[in-house]
Structure 1
């Protein structure tokens, strides 16, 4: 869905460019450099905000009082608009990635854009699309999954929604940012081909949707900090891709010298630590060019004026913040995000039947919304899993809860119950943004010495206490559902055969409990699909060291690595069960209007209405070069009544077949036979397909 900013990176407004010429001529060097930094963050953070991030909007670039130019006011994301005021808290991005629903994500962006404007935000840091190379990454919950195509489409949708309300969207963290603990120092080594094919295409896709700002990452790439990488910021982003907006650093440690301005960093946030006076001196001594300064100011003002002068199609006010429509949207998203991994005829529970449901684990009744880093939001309320069940169940259903610490008591409750539910997984203390020491302890006593929280996971298993609880409860009552709260993959080979059902419920947002109950009792069928691979053994995944100083990335990870190494996944990329069932017809190659497209009939063969995520993969098994065996190139969510048939169609562009040829520095297409596959997940889809040639794709 295009909006008035969709072509932001495609064309320039000649009249605006002439106006910018005049303004740049009027500005002094000191005024220009002032625009290239945020201001007043430390004053508030260490002052009245008592070291709590997100208590206000922050000045994040621009601003010239003499010329009447306001600063840009920033708020973070991505699970809502960060503010000390209660705002709508949506499920984390990984949960939304599991919906595979771009229209739904666009609506979330729309809600975030509305609430941002109501608070006074003009620059939103909500779009995180770093590729999940390894599920141990602490901030996995903030992105959409392991596949570049899925990341790009979901990120583009969020951008379109946010920017429809004249809020500048920032896409982050550019680039190759997927280790948390060593993020301030790690050097990621990657070939040009690996970057262009695996770690950068989703950024390009979001910019094609009109995204007007980019946040550089903390880490190094091939020896240069991202905020100092001329190759990333100028050669690729601004020159090759034609990006027209501005680049700002990640906060506090996103720049290490004034030379970052010459490399293409336009704004240092949140304060002029290395810009400011240092940058003025560097310009005066000829170390940084006047051209780089003028280009940065032009980009900042071009973006700001384009958005702030655009006509609003509505007014914004306090009544928009966490309004009823946004609360219902949060519930809808949670419902569509839950991934039913296993179901041996346990679910859905029959809501009209008297029963006792015994719930176990502290996470059943905890407001578990995700990490406490920059993405944290404060909701007006939270429905926990337990509260959701109690509200939905009638008087004829008895629900009891025990945290599981008293072994004999929990075993007795399990034996007496008709159904057991175990909530297992993690909290912000186990995974999330890594902020050393007390800085991660928002809201706690600043004088109390605390260990760091969040960060990368050192293993993919559940905590020992959770595995022990699952084993104990299932031994006494196999009619058990395990609800997993996590931001990415959890290995479960030691226990997945024990419960009757397993469901990923993520960090499900403020309406998560309501949504959980509606899915458990069958008011709505689960329809989420895994946006990553769950391996049988984490050794089947790429090497991952949270404390690495240097690491090399290659072409393979997730489903592409398992296919390359011929390893079987515990649950493959794209997997997810439903309360209904779907039949897929053969993939067909059809010519219409002079163009080739691929289609398949999908039939709801079950007894209830349900959504299905239809996935489209292209196979490269005939390739003469080293490349993945197949890649996701399309997906579509369809809603079907029992017996209903839908013809689901996918079109391709020749660029979908291309690889990056390092010798020529350009994209190339092999003259080989390719295959098209349509199915419910990355394994089932490959069971049948149709061949085609590159010259058939227009």
Structure 2
């Protein structure tokens, strides 16, 4: 047996001297070249032509297949098809090709073929790069997100995969979380709505995996931190969005690296079996996060961890031995295998094979959707009569900042890195949108006086600043002195970037700041220096095109913040880079801003437009509803400006006389409405009373209180932007 096969844990590789690792890599590459892996010729093996089966038919077929399987073949379904050595040394980069698990050539059972996300398909070098999830959340548009999911599903299958593990819905508790860009913000309802939409879109074509279960919102310490919280915080904040995705039919859930109440999530029977499978009735399978997702065989298997990915370390022969030793019941293995086969059969009948071809990856049609998302996700934070730029009056524009010509689309080094066929930079997009009659020049801006003096000769200065994969994203401790990515403790811009803004504003009063990043960036104290501020996030392969269109008024911005931009770090919950334990409670983001009456820079749900909207005439269908009833919140929204636009109407509900400590209000619904100048539309948002419950820890049940409530509806989470009306549940 080759040495690389004997090495079955990543720690054995890491323990090798560097010189030995190099030689060992050469040996592995030689072995793989001489012994190439051959996969099944058909996409779905014995399930290729089963068609669309009913639930009972699927179960019968699963039973039939399992009757043919040995214990080793069952465990193979639960195990990745790679050793740590192959995964470490053979691929040219992470997930350039699908990762396989559970392929059985003898029984003709297809593999789970994995691709990562979530801003597009990680496979290959021509995938469509969409704006990151945080940006897409700013669109508040689940139908648009479902379309994104549909394209991702097509590109998943086109790239040779059948399993997309990019539905990331971890709650953003602190905006410094390094991987904030991969999720949808700070509110569980928004996370659930957008995550469910992406799941449904992807599953038109492929299995979707929702991650990371649960309470994974610290990056640097993800392999050791234990999240401590009471049952109410767990149930009300950190689990509801996962249940929404489960209820939407998600095929798989990925466990998290971290611990919850001291127990590794991949070993956490309470989370994986008691809640997910038994209480929620989840019929799919649970897979581990990679390499350090589980720490042992018996505890993980007995907890309900169904598939070890992306290299087999603790399952495989170790799990077979554990079953034969009586440490893991074979019934536990049978349950896992049934769940895996159930989804393979289910998705063998999904999709249209004629749609799946490598040429579809990054194609013009998909790039156009990425552009649409970029247009709808930018958030206009400030506009002091400077935007949009008028091409008939503005003749010279200066663009400052190196980031304007880099084409950053998000984390380019980690598991979410997408490689599109091209990227339109901010500078390119501005130049294109400006047209032939507007002169656009570039300045690095590193010499402040140069920027100050040059800026005087232009009609407007656009300062493009913010974050890159070096500042945030997946954490890579490349050396003790120079780690890359990870969590941010400093949420503001750098001293040099602030200097650029101040210098530009001193030289030109029409200074516009465009922010790039995956989460909130503090704007104090420089925001008063700028006349316009746009939060563009990481905006995908067509982000530059969208920015140019927005700046010159071809597109009216409509995005709103899925995160609170706090005024100072003291307003935020405790956070650290190397925590072994951390306490989570009910308060962060706008929940904390409400409770502690914090004056924030920009509230959750905030975003301006090039037109004006007026809210009036809030009313409820009834001032009193039953515990199984629905409150219908209605408002009139008028476009009082001169441009057509899309407004996101937000509905919140708060319990006024609760028996327990509760949020002042929670987001419970939103609608996007298109309005022409002078047009008024009536918007109604329905909220079921059961969605106003709190979790009663002693009785282990949800309770809808019969008491007084307040309904809010308007343009942001800030009370000054909301109309309100009381009602009662009886």
Interval containing the TM-score (normalised by the shorter chain): over 0.9
Report what 1:405 is aligned to.
Answer: 446
The answer for the alignment partner of 2:662 in structure 1 is: 627
Deviation, 1:219, is 0.2
Deviation at 1:314, TM superposition (A): 4.9
- Could you tell me which of 405, 427, 430 is aligned with 1:389? 430
Q: Could you say which residue in structure 2 is the equivalent of 1:644? A: 679
Query: Structure 1, residues 28-56: CA drift from partner, whole Å, max 9, x if none?
Result: 11111111111226455444434x21211
Q: Are positions 1:459 and 2:495 aligned together?
A: no
Residue aligning to 2:549: 518
Q: In 1, distance between residues paired with 2:444 and 2:334?
A: 60
- Of 336, 340, 353, which residue of structure 1 is paired with 2:376? 336
1:74 aligns with 2:109: no
1:684 to partner: Cα distance: 4.0
Among 267, 281, 298, the alignment partner of 2:307 is 267
How high is the TM-score relative to the length of structure 1? Answer: 0.94
In structure 2, what is the equivalent of residue 509 of structure 1? 540
Q: For residues 618 and 311 of structure 1, what CA distance do their matches in structure 2 show?
A: 39
Corresponding residue number in structure 2 for 1:614: 649
> 1:631-657 deviations in whole A, cap 9, x for unaligned?
000001111100111111111112211
Structure 1 gap ranges (5+): 1-10, 439-448
Deviates more, 1:464-473 or 1:145-154: 464-473
Give 1:498's aligned residue.
Answer: 529
Q: 2:87·2:311 contact (CA, 8 Å) conserved in 1?
A: no
Deviation at 1:400, TM superposition (A): 0.9
Which shows bigger deviation, 665-674 or 683-692? 683-692
Report 1:52-63 matches (<5 A): 52-59=93-100, 61-63=101-103
Give the one of 199, 211, 215 matched to 1:176.
215
Selected match of 2:251 from 198, 202, 212: 212
- In 2, are the aligned partners of 1:100 and 1:529 still within 8 Å (CA)? yes
**Displacement after TM superposition at 1:404 (Å):** 1.2
1:97-246 aligned within 5 A: 97-165=137-205, 167-246=206-285
Contact 1:62 1:301 in 2 (8 A): no
User: Quick check: 1:693 aligned with 2:711?
Assistant: no
Matches of 1:687 and 1:90, distance apart in 2: 32
Partner Cα distance (1:657, 1:427) in 2: 39
The equivalent residue for 1:472 is 503
Larger displacement relative to structure 2 (642-651 or 509-518):
642-651
Q: What TM-score do you get using the length of structure 2 for normalisation?
A: 0.90
| 2:75 is the alignment partner of 1:33 | yes
Q: Is the 8 A contact 1:677 1:685 kept in 2?
A: no
What is the root-mean-square deviation of aligned Cα atoms in Å?
Answer: 1.8
What does the per-residue CA deviation read over 1:220-257, in whole Å, with 9 as the maximum and x for residues that have no partner? 00011000000000000000000000000011110011
- How far did 1:140 drift? 0.3
Q: How many residues align?
A: 672
Is 1:541 aligned to 2:572, yes or no?
Answer: yes
Q: Tell whether the 8 Å contact from 1:678 to 1:685 is kept in structure 2 after alignment.
A: no
- Classify 1:563/1:200 alpha carbon distance in 2 versus 1 (closer, same or farther; 3 Å): same
Query: Which whole-Å CA distance do the structure 1 matches of 2:327 and 2:108 have between them?
Result: 30
In the TM superposition, residue 473 of structure 1 has moved relative to its aligned partner by 1.2
CA contact (8 A) 1:587 1:676 kept: no
Deviation at 1:84? 2.1
Aligned-residue offset at 1:12: 7.6
**SS state of the match for residue 291, structure 1?**
helix
1:394 CA drift (Å): 2.0
Alpha-carbon spacing, 1:688–1:393, altered in 2? closer, same or farther (3 Å)? closer
Return the match for 1:550 from 573, 581, 585: 581
String of CA shifts for 1:568-614, please: whole Å, max 9, x gaps.
11100100000000000132102599964111010111000001000
Preserved contact between residue 363 and residue 423 of structure 1 (Cα < 8 Å): yes
Greater Cα shift, 429-438 or 471-480 = 429-438
Q: Find the residue that maps to 1:173 and give its secondary structure.
A: strand
CA deviation profile, 1:490-541 (whole Å, cap 9, x unmatched) = 1121111001011101111110000000000000111100001111111111
Change (3 A) 1:515 1:71: same
1:8 corresponds in structure 2 to none
Determine which of 293, 309, 332 is the counterpart of 2:349. 309
* Inter-partner Cα distance in structure 2 for 1:601 and 1:314: 46
Kindly indicate whether the alpha-carbon contact (under 8 Å) linking 2:653 and 2:711 is maintained by their aligned counterparts in 1: yes
Residue of structure 1 equivalent to 2:608? 577
Provide the residue aligned with 1:443 in structure 2: none
Cα deviation, residue 380, structure 1: 0.7
Q: 1:476 to 1:421 in 2, by over 3 A?
A: same
SS at match of 1:556: coil
Find the aligned partners of 2:539 and 2:350 in 1 and give their Cα distance. 34
SS in 1 for 2:164: strand
Q: Which runs of 5+ in 2 are unaligned?
A: 1-52
Alpha-carbon spacing, 1:376–1:656, altered in 2? closer, same or farther (3 Å): same
Quote how far apart the aligned CAs of 1:283 are.
1.1
Q: CA deviation at 1:318?
A: 2.6
**Could you tell me which residue of structure 2 aligns to residue 561 of structure 1?**
592
The 1-side partners of 2:599 and 2:416 are apart by: 34
State the Cα deviation string for residues 301-326 of structure 1 (Å, max 9, x = none): 00111111336385322332112221
Bigger mean CA deviation after superposition, 465-474 or 22-31: 22-31
Superimposed CA distance per residue, residues 148-182 of structure 1 (whole angstroms, 9 cap, x where no aligned partner)? 000000000001110012x0000000100000000
